[in-house]
Amino acid sequence: MKLINVLLKAFAAFLVVISVEAAPNLAVTSGENTLALDRTELEAFPQTRIVTTSPYFEGTAEFTGPSLRRVLEFFSLEKESRVVFRALNDYEVDGNIQELLEMDAIIATRMDGKPMSVRDRGPFWIILPLSDRPELDDQAFHRFMIWQLEGITLN
Amino acid sequence: MKPGSFKQRLFSRTTMIFLFIVIAVLLAASFYTYVQDRRLETVSLGALRMASWNLARMSSEAAAFDREVALMAKGVGDPDEFMLRFDVLWSRYDYLLNSTESLPTRQHENNLRRIKNLFKKLRGLEPTLETLLNSTRPDWSAFVAAWEVQHKEIQMLLTDNFVGDETNQLMTGMEASRDRLANLRFLTLSALVVVFGYMAFALAYIRRQSRTDSLTGLPNGNYLQSLHEIDSRKNIVACHIRNLGLIISEHGNDRANEIVQAFARKLGKELGSADELIHVSQGEFVLLAKTQNRERTEEFARRLIAATVFDWRIYQTVIPISAEFGISPARHAPSMDWSARHQEAYRALAVARLEGERFYVSNENLETRLREERIIHNGLVRFLSGEPSSLSLSVVYQPIVRAEDINYVSGAEVLLRCADREIGFVPPNKIVDLCERHGLGVDLGHWLFRQISKETKQLFQDLGFRGCLSINLNPAMLSEGLVSDVQRLLLNEGIPASALCLEITEDNAAIDFEKVNELIGQMDALGVNFALDDFGTGHSSLEYVRELCVKRLKIDRCFVTGIEEDEDRLRFLDSIIAMAGQAYMQTVIEGVENRAQWDLIARHQGLFIQGYFAHKPMPLNDFVAVLTDSASRFATNRQFASDVV
C-alpha cells in the first residue's frame, strides 16, 4: 500500500512538472499575424484580479491574468468584428468582439495564485467577473468562459 | 355521549395522535419536496442543452484520447499530446461530477453512478501509464484492452442518454420529476387542509365535551360557570337528590348513576322549550325554567317534586328517591345579576334542607332573615371575643319556688338574653342555634360561666345563698372540656358545687349518650347535679331517660297549658309527675301561669314550680331584691336569712 501511495504521489508530481514545463502557448491570430504567448509573457502584461464564483466549482476562487482587452489591443481591430476562442478539446466558441470586450473578461493564467494544469482546466481560462457583475451569470455568457484555452482568432 | 360512540372514537386521543404523526410526516415530505424542487428549478432548458452537449463533448474527447492511445500502442505517439488528451478527458470527468452546470447530466437516470465509475477506472489507469511512459519497450496491450472497455462504456453512456430526441429525454425526465414533486406537494397541502378541518371540529367537540356531563349528556358545571346573564322571567331552581351518598354506600356508584340518570330524565320532562337543565355534580342539578300555564311558583315547585319522587327497585330492595329544591323566583324586571340569583337559589335550597322541607322559594323574608343572621353572627363573634359589638348578651334569673310555699325560693334558672342595637331583642334560642351552627358554642359556654360566676358571687358569699342555679347547656358544651370549665370558671371562683345544676334536653343528650352519661358521672363526683330539661318533648324512650343519671326532671310547659280547663290534660300531667316521682327525681314544673294551675299542681308533694305566676325572669339585682324581701325564704348556710344586710 505504502509503495503505491509513493508511486502515485511521484506520478502526480511528474504530471504537474510536465504540464508546467510543457510551456503552453496561447496563439492569438488575426488574419495572417499570429502571436504566440506563453505563460511568462502573459504574466508580463498588467494583471487583472477577479474573485468570483462560477458554475464550475463550489465557492469562490481568485483568478489572475491579463484582461482580454489588453491582449487584443496589440491588434488594430478595424476590420475584425468577430472573435473565436478555441480550446484544447477542439471546442470553439465565437462572439462579437465589442460584446466580449464589454464583459471585462480576463485570460486567467493562475487560479488562487497557482498555475493551472490541464486537469485544473488550464493552462488558460477565460474568466468573467460573475460575482462583480451578476448580470453576466447566465447561460448565454457562461459559454464564453472557455477553459483549456488554446487559441484566439480574430475575423 | 355514550361511551364508544362514533364521535368519541373519531375524536379519541389515539386518532389525534395518529393524525399528528401524519401531519408531521407530510410536513417533512413537503419540506423535502420543496428543497428538491428548488434544486431542479435551477435547471433551465439551456442547462439541459448544456448537459446533452457535455456528454457529446466527453465522447469526442474520449475519441481523441483513443486516437493517441492507438498511436502510442503503435509506437508512433507523442507522449505530450497523449498526456494532454488524458488530462483533457480527466478534467471532463471532473467537470461532469463537480460543477453545478452539469447537474442535469448527473441527475438523469443513473448517469451519476456510471460517470463516477468511469472516472474511477480512468484514474485506475494512471499507475500503468507511468510505467509505460518510462519504460523503453512498453507493452501497451493491457492498457489498450482496459481502455477499450472504458471507451465502449463511454459510448454506451452517450447512446443511452440520446436514444430518440436528446434534449427531450432529459427534459421529460426533469419534468416528470417536477410533476411528481408538485403532486406530492399538492397531496401534502390537501392533507393539511383536511387535518386542519378535522382539528377545528375536534376542538369544537372537545369544548362541547368539557361542558357536557358524560353521564346524562346535559350541560355540566363548566357550562354553568360560563353563564353570565339570564332572562329575569326565568326561575332558577337548585336541586339536590336526597341521600345519594347513602345510596352509593349501600348499592354502589353504578346504581347511584342509574338513579341519577332516571332522575335527570324525569326532571327534563318538566321543562319547556326554552328551559335549560344543567347537571352540576352527581346529585345536583340547576334548572333555568319559566313557569307554565300561569302557574304560581309554589305550584311549579310542587309539579317538579311530583315528577321527581319515585321508587327505584333493585332486586328486592325499594329505594325511595326524592330531592330538595331551592328556587330563586322569576321577576318582572331584572333586579339582580346572574350570580346573585344563583346564590339566592342555593340559599333557598339550604333553608329547605335545614327546615326539612321539600322546597323553599326565596323571598323577602328569607333575605331579611339571612341578613339579620349575618348581623347577629358577626355581633356574637365580636362580643364573645371581647371586642366592641352592636350586640350584647346578658343573663337573667327566673326564681324556682316550692309548690307548697310560693315564697320559698329554692333556686333560679339562668336564662340568656340578647339585644342588638340594630335589630333589637334576639330570642335566646336563635343565639344558641347560631352558635351551634357556627362553632361558637364553646365560647358561649365560657362566657356564660364567667358571667354567672361574676354576678352570683355576691349571692353565695354575701347572702349565703345555697339554692340551686340551673344553667342550660348547649350541645357544644357537652364535651370533655366541660369538667375543667366548670372547675375553672365556677367552682374555683367560689361557686359551691351543690349550688350548680346543669340542664340538658333529651335530644341533646341523645347525640352521644355514652359520653354524656360519663360526663354526668364526672360532674357528680364534683358534686354538681344534672337536670333533664323539657322532659316529655324529646324523641327518646322512657327507658333511655332512666339510663341517664340525672337527678332532676323539668317538665315542659306544654303539659301544663290547659290543665285547668281540660281534665285529660290534667290527668296526663298527673301521670307524668307520678312517673317522675317513681324515679326518685326532683321535679320542676315549668310554665305555671295562673292560680288555678298552681292549685292543681300543689296537690302533689315535693314539687318545684317555675312560672310567670310566681316570678318572671329578672336581672340579678331584682333577684337579690326578691331574696332579701322580708317575705322570702331560701336555702342558706346562715342561720337567719333575714339578718342579711
Instruction: Kindly list the distances between the CA atom of residue B205 and the CA atoms of A18, B200, B215, in Å, as whole numbers in the listed order.
Output: 80, 9, 17
| Backbone angle region of B289, left / alpha / beta, with phi > 0 → left and psi within -120 to 50 → alpha | beta
Identify which of A4, A11, A89 has the shortest CB distance to residue B57. Answer: A89
By C-alpha distance, the chain A residue nearest B127 is: A8
- Substitution target in B86, B91, B106, B128 with the highest count of A β-carbons within 10 Å is B91
- C-beta of residue B489 within 8 angstroms of C-beta of residue B450: yes
Identify which of B60, B87, B92 has the shortest CB distance to residue A117. Answer: B87
Buried-state track B385-424, b at ≥16 Cβ within 10 A, e below 16: eeeebebebebbbbbbbbbeebebbbbbbbbbbbebeebe
pLDDT for B47 equals 59
Lowest mean pLDDT among B33-47, B255-269, B451-465, B556-570: B33-47
Q: Judge if the upstream peptide bond of residue B219 is cis by omega within 30 degrees of 0.
A: no
- Chain A residues lying within 8 Å of B130, measured CB to CB: 7, 10-11, 14
Residue A145 to chain B, least CA–CA distance (Å): 12
pLDDT for B85 equals 92
**What count of other Cβ atoms lies within 10 Å of the Cβ of residue B20?**
12
User: Residue written as cell 410536513?
Assistant: B27
pLDDT band at B40 (very low <50, low <70, confident <90, very high): low
Supply the pTM of this predicted model. 0.49
Cell of residue A138, nine digits: 447566465
The verdict on A14 touching B (C-beta cutoff 8 Å) is yes
pLDDT for A96 equals 87
Identify which of B60, B91, B101 has the shortest CB distance to residue A119. Answer: B91
> With an 8 Å Cβ cutoff, are A118 and B98 in contact?
no
Lowest mean pLDDT among A17-26, B19-28, B326-335, B401-410: A17-26
pLDDT band at B1 (very low <50, low <70, confident <90, very high): very low
Euclidean distance between CA atoms B528 and B531, whole angstroms = 10
> With an 8 Å Cβ cutoff, are B80 and A58 in contact?
no
Identify which of A56, A119, A142 has the shortest CB distance to residue B90. Answer: A119
Residue type, B280: V
pLDDT for B364 equals 76
Q: What are phi and psi of B293, to 5 degrees?
A: 55, 40
**What count of other Cβ atoms lies within 10 Å of the Cβ of residue B327?**
27
pLDDT for B453 equals 92
Q: What is the pLDDT of residues B121-150, one digit of tens each?
A: 999 988 888 888 888 778 888 889 999 999
Nearest alpha carbon to residue B534 among B574, B500, B503: B503
- C-beta of residue B560 within 8 angstroms of C-beta of residue B597: yes
B112 or A18: whose pLDDT is higher?
Answer: B112
- C-beta of residue B405 within 8 angstroms of C-beta of residue B633: yes
Lowest mean pLDDT among B28-37, B81-90, B558-567: B28-37
pLDDT band at A1 (very low <50, low <70, confident <90, very high): low
Separation of CA B442 from chain center: 32
Residue B209 CB contacts under 8 Å (≥ 6 apart), including other chains: B1
- Chain B residues lying within 8 Å of A148, measured CB to CB: 88, 91
3-state secondary structure B42-59: CCCHHHHHHHHHHHHHHH
- Substitution target in B48, B57, B87, B128 with the highest count of A β-carbons within 10 Å is B87
**Three-class SS state of B312:** strand
Per-residue pLDDT at B378 exceeds 80: yes
Euclidean distance between CA atoms B66 and B154, whole angstroms = 12
pLDDT for B382 equals 92
pLDDT for B398 equals 93
B50 or B119: whose pLDDT is higher?
Answer: B119
Residue A55 to chain B, least CA–CA distance (Å): 5
By C-alpha distance, the chain B residue nearest A118 is: B87
Nearest alpha carbon to residue B614 among B308, B387, B408: B408
Q: What is the pLDDT of residues A30-70, one digit of tens each?
A: 878 788 888 888 888 888 898 998 888 888 889 999 988 88
Per-residue pLDDT at B160 exceeds 80: no
Chain A and chain B share a number of CB contacts under 8 A equal to 63
The verdict on B422 touching A (C-beta cutoff 8 Å) is no
> With an 8 Å Cβ cutoff, are A56 and B95 in contact?
yes
pLDDT for B416 equals 93
> With an 8 Å Cβ cutoff, are A56 and B99 in contact?
yes
Per-residue pLDDT at B263 exceeds 90: yes
The verdict on A44 touching B (C-beta cutoff 8 Å) is no
To which H or E segment does residue B516 belong? helix B513-526
Residue B186 to chain A, least CA–CA distance (Å): 31
> With an 8 Å Cβ cutoff, are B87 and A121 in contact?
no
Residue A56 to chain B, least CA–CA distance (Å): 4
Q: How much of chain B exceeds pLDDT 90, in percent? A: 22
Nearest alpha carbon to residue B236 among B305, B306, B325, B322: B325
Q: What are phi and psi of B605, to 5 degrees?
A: -95, 150
> With an 8 Å Cβ cutoff, are A56 and B100 in contact?
yes
Residue type, B254: D
- Chain B residues lying within 8 Å of A121, measured CB to CB: 91, 95
Q: What is the DSSP string of B400-437?
A: EEESS-TTEEEEEEEEEEEEETTTEEE-HHHHHHHHHH
- In B211-269, which residue ranges form alpha helices assigned H by DSSP? 221-226, 244-251, 253-269
The verdict on A21 touching B (C-beta cutoff 8 Å) is no
pLDDT for B337 equals 83
Residue B93 to chain A, least CA–CA distance (Å): 10
- Chain B residues lying within 8 Å of A117, measured CB to CB: 87
Separation of CA B534 from chain center: 43
End-to-end alpha carbon distance in chain B: 87
pLDDT for B162 equals 66
Instruction: Kindly list the distances between the CA atom of residue B70 and the CA atoms of B123, B128, B135, in Å, as whole numbers in the listed order.
Output: 19, 16, 17
Residue A8 to chain B, least CA–CA distance (Å): 7
- Chain B residues lying within 8 Å of A91, measured CB to CB: 57
> With an 8 Å Cβ cutoff, are B127 and A4 in contact?
yes
pLDDT for B170 equals 66
End-to-end alpha carbon distance in chain A: 55
- Chain B residues lying within 8 Å of A7, measured CB to CB: 127, 130
By C-alpha distance, the chain B residue nearest A15 is: B83
Query: Please, which residues bridge with residue B408 across strands?
Result: B633
B126-155 residues touching A, CB cutoff 8 A: 126-127, 129-130
pLDDT band at B633 (very low <50, low <70, confident <90, very high): confident
Cell of residue B225, nine digits: 360557570
Cell of residue B233, nine digits: 322571567
Cell of residue B378, nine digits: 358577626
Residue type, B299: E
Residue B181 to chain A, least CA–CA distance (Å): 25
Contacts 24+ apart (CB under 8 A), B224-231: B224/B278, B224/B280, B224/B286, B227/B338, B228/B338, B229/B337, B229/B338, B230/B288, B230/B338, B230/B341, B231/B288, B231/B290
- Chain B residues lying within 8 Å of A10, measured CB to CB: 130
Per the document, the length of chain B is 645
Nearest alpha carbon to residue B505 among B534, B482, B545: B534
Cell of residue B609, nine digits: 314550680
Residue A135 to chain B, least CA–CA distance (Å): 16
- C-beta of residue A63 within 8 angstroms of C-beta of residue A80: no
Residue B396 CB contacts under 8 Å (≥ 6 apart), including other chains: B414, B415, B417, B617, B618, B619
Per-residue pLDDT at B404 exceeds 80: yes
Q: What is the pLDDT of residues A99-145, one digit of tens each?
A: 888 888 899 999 998 888 888 888 899 999 988 888 888 878 888 89
Per-residue pLDDT at B173 exceeds 50: yes
Per-residue pLDDT at B628 exceeds 90: no
Per-residue pLDDT at B166 exceeds 70: no
> With an 8 Å Cβ cutoff, are B64 and A119 in contact?
no
pLDDT for B164 equals 46
- Chain B residues lying within 8 Å of A3, measured CB to CB: none
| Backbone angle region of B112, left / alpha / beta, with phi > 0 → left and psi within -120 to 50 → alpha | alpha
Identify which of A8, A89, A142 has the shortest CB distance to residue B101. Answer: A142
Residue B126 to chain A, least CA–CA distance (Å): 8
> With an 8 Å Cβ cutoff, are B88 and A88 in contact?
yes
pLDDT for A88 equals 87
- Chain B residues lying within 8 Å of A19, measured CB to CB: 83, 87
Lowest mean pLDDT among B73-82, B546-555, B570-579: B546-555
pLDDT for B74 equals 86
Identify which of B87, B92, B100 has the shortest CB distance to residue A55. Answer: B100
By C-alpha distance, the chain B residue nearest A88 is: B88
Q: What is the pLDDT of residues A79-100, one digit of tens each?
A: 778 889 999 888 888 888 888 8
- Chain B residues lying within 8 Å of A21, measured CB to CB: none
Euclidean distance between CA atoms B642 and B645, whole angstroms = 8
Euclidean distance between CA atoms B99 and B96, whole angstroms = 6
pLDDT for B641 equals 46
Between the ranges B166-175, B534-543, B580-589, where is the mean pLDDT highest?
A: B580-589
By C-alpha distance, the chain B residue nearest A9 is: B127
pLDDT for B265 equals 92
Identify which of A7, A18, A140 has the shortest CB distance to residue B83. Answer: A18
Per-residue pLDDT at B469 exceeds 80: yes
A71-110 residues touching B, CB cutoff 8 A: 88-91
pLDDT band at B262 (very low <50, low <70, confident <90, very high): very high
Q: What is the pLDDT of residues B477-515, one digit of tens each?
A: 888 889 999 999 888 888 888 889 999 887 777 777 888
Lowest mean pLDDT among B164-178, B209-223, B440-454: B164-178
pLDDT for A21 equals 44
- Chain B residues lying within 8 Å of A90, measured CB to CB: 60, 64
Separation of CA B643 from chain center: 71
